[in-house]
Amino acid sequence: FLLLAIDRGRMARWERIGVAALLLLSLLSHLTHIFAIGAMLVLLPIGMRLGGRPSSEWRGIFLTTLTLLAIGFASVVVTGAVVERVFGRKPLLVPLLTARFMADGPGLAYLRDHCDRPSFAACAWKDRSAVAAGEFLWSLDPARGGYMFADAQTRRAMSDQDTAFALAVLAEHPIAQGGRIAYNATRQMLRFEVDILNYHCAPGDRCWRSLPSRQRTVLLSSLGGRNLWPQMLVARLQQAIVAASVLLLLIWSVRGRSSTQADRDLLLWIGLFAIGAVVNALLGGGVSEPQPRYQARIIWLLPLMASIAALLWLRIRVGKKHG
């Protein structure tokens, strides 16, 4: 999307088609991508106008991306319709909001106050003193889990009531729940460290029991299988690089930026990335649960943009020196 946003006819036709196809593949792959790209698309005309760009520069890209978004959304609807026709029931979506709001506290408070006459399937867990979102959804420990132990009817009800329950909690506890959403999104924004190098499989654990013995042996004997990667060191290095990138981009925006087209393109990229990162953090932390892998998917763009800013800044300095 960022490449399309600054194209202005510079890419060959086949390149533009290839990038658009990759964008469509992304939109078909995950529902959160539709929200993130949609938010960036809304910002695109604003950024272009602030940069003094004519609408002819971005109107085509806007309409193309809008069409791709419509196809992505239609794929969700069509998938649901096909599943319902083939299996006789709609797809069962995991009640992420219910689990998140219960874990945040206001959801449990709502259940304790309103379940004298149960209106939500989640009332079955109104007596829990605390809930961890991930454990409530996936744990096989009866003391910690919940959703995995529910019968099919309860699961279906929780899925169907997920949005309604979240809206009810927000209506009753707007400040408390809104604050928790902001807090979790902020945590998500700051959590992007590499946490996938080691497999954390202790001797005797039932890791990869479903794999053929040869492949399982290879995995267990690898660096990750033996937990030998310096994961903490790599994570700290990554955090330092991202922090340095943010600092460089801030300094470049204030002192190093010129009025060239390339500088304006990079400034647009930074703005679009910022809104995309915020939406990604809201969906990852505020709706699901703060996990490094959510923000790690996009954090590499910051060092990339910082590198471009450094090259643009260097070009200006070299130009002045030889000018």
Q: HEC states along 63-80?
A: HHHHHHHHHHHHHHHHHH
**Full-model pTM:** 0.86
pLDDT of residue 177: 96
Question: For residues 302 and 28, what is the distance between their CA atoms, to the nearest angstrom?
Answer: 25
Tokens 């409530």 correspond to 136
pLDDT of residue 97: 95
Q: 46-83: buried (b, 16+ CB within 10 Å) or exposed (e) per residue?
A: ebbeeeebeeebbeebbeebeebbeebeebeeeeeeee
Number of C-beta neighbours around residue 190 at 10 A: 15
Question: For residues 15 and 13, what is the distance between their CA atoms, to the nearest angstrom?
Answer: 5
Q: Which of 159, 181, 129 is nearest to 285 (CA)?
A: 181
**C-alpha dihedral, 86 to 136 to 126 to 105, nearest 10°:** -120
Measured between its terminal Cα atoms, the distance across the chain in Å is 36
pLDDT of residue 203: 65
Question: For residues 258 and 68, what is the distance between their CA atoms, to the nearest angstrom?
Answer: 34
pLDDT of residue 18: 96
Tokens of 298: 């996009």
DSSP secondary structure letters along 244-273: HHHHHHHHIIIII--SSHHHHHHHHHHHHH
Question: For residues 240 and 81, what is the distance between their CA atoms, to the nearest angstrom?
Answer: 47
Question: For residues 84 and 123, what is the distance between their CA atoms, to the nearest angstrom?
Answer: 27
Q: Which of 16, 81, 71 is nearest to 38 (CA)?
A: 71
pLDDT of residue 318: 76
pLDDT of residue 322: 66
Question: For residues 226 and 228, what is the distance between their CA atoms, to the nearest angstrom?
Answer: 5
For CA atoms 14, 46, 43, 242, the dihedral sign is positive
pLDDT of residue 321: 66
**Residue ranges, the chain, pLDDT below 50:** none
Question: For residues 21 and 34, what is the distance between their CA atoms, to the nearest angstrom?
Answer: 15
CB 253 within 8 A of CB 270: yes
Tokens of 70: 């419509």
pLDDT of residue 57: 84
pLDDT of residue 295: 93
Q: Give the chain's radius of gyration (CA, Å).
A: 24
pLDDT of residue 204: 66
Residue 69: partners with Cβ closer than 8 Å, 6 or more residues away: 27, 34, 37, 38, 41
pLDDT of residue 296: 92
